[in-house]
Amino acid sequence: MVKLRPEQTDEGYKSVYSELTRPTVGSRIRAGIRTSGELMITFGLVVLLFAGYQVFGNSAAVDSEQDSLTQELDEAWADPTVAPTASTPAKQGPAAPGANLVGRLYIPKFDKKWVVVDGVQPDDIRYAPGHYPETAKPGQIGNFSVAGHRVRKIFWRLDEMEDGDVIGVETRDKWYVYHVYQQEIVKPNQVEVVAAVPGKPKAKPTKALLTLTTCNPKFNNYERLIIHAELVKTVPRNQALPDAGMPAEMKA
């Protein structure tokens, strides 16, 4: 039995219990390690929850924004005062409705489509794929390049693309059908993948290409997943036809 009552000693009154429970250097170190471990676990859970939200939790926000962009694009295309295609130089003055929208991107393999905005800054691609402004426009000779987040509602399954898979692009007056010919993984600083001739920044382009870029692997961003495709068909878009004349290859 441990005596709790203090007793007289040569050093004054002392309690055996207080001596047993007095912190030591070892106990202080153990307490510090335990506290640090708890903080690290808590921080890790917070980071994991945030990453989970970024990948899964913003699906409703992406859907909502895509609905708004779709309405804006449809209204712009129905307005005869708006330039026929995104490749037409914009007039000086206030931007017309839909001026920052490039068109629609389709991946029939996933039964997915998105309105593509013009720009790849964080605010541009928060809820939509974004066109690298310095690259070619859809159907043009060069490399029409598009970036998108690796989230459930955007480029989550891009790693499943294979040679020959179809990627479609819709503008106000044209349908463009591209076939995938290469998938690669690169470092974030390898920007030559969006050059007019991918991997050869100084080469003169002779083909109309498309490049999609996204983070890799899933849940991280220390690499970039790249999909290259080549234009194989161009079809006029005709609103008088069913589905505006969409090529059969682009239908899921």
What positions carry a catalytic annotation?
A: 149, 215
- Is beta strand 112-118 parallel, antiparallel or unpaired with respect to 130-131? parallel
Torsion angle of the four alpha carbons 58, 61, 63, 67, in this order, in degrees rounded to the nearest 10: -160
- d(CA 37, CA 33) in angstroms, rounded, equals 6
Instruction: Encode burial over 77-115: b for 16+ CB neighbours within 10 A, e otherwise.
Output: beeeebbebbbeeeeeeeeeebebbbbbbbbbeeeebbb
Map residue 5 onto helix, strand or coil: coil
- d(CA 126, CA 117) in angstroms, rounded, equals 10
Report the run of H or E that residue 177 belongs to, with start and end: strand 174-186
- d(CA 171, CA 136) in angstroms, rounded, equals 14
Map residue 165 onto helix, strand or coil: coil
* Residues forming a β-bridge with 229: 180, 210
Report the run of H or E that residue 69 belongs to, with start and end: helix 59-78
What letter represents residue 166's amino acid? Answer: V
Map residue 231 onto helix, strand or coil: strand
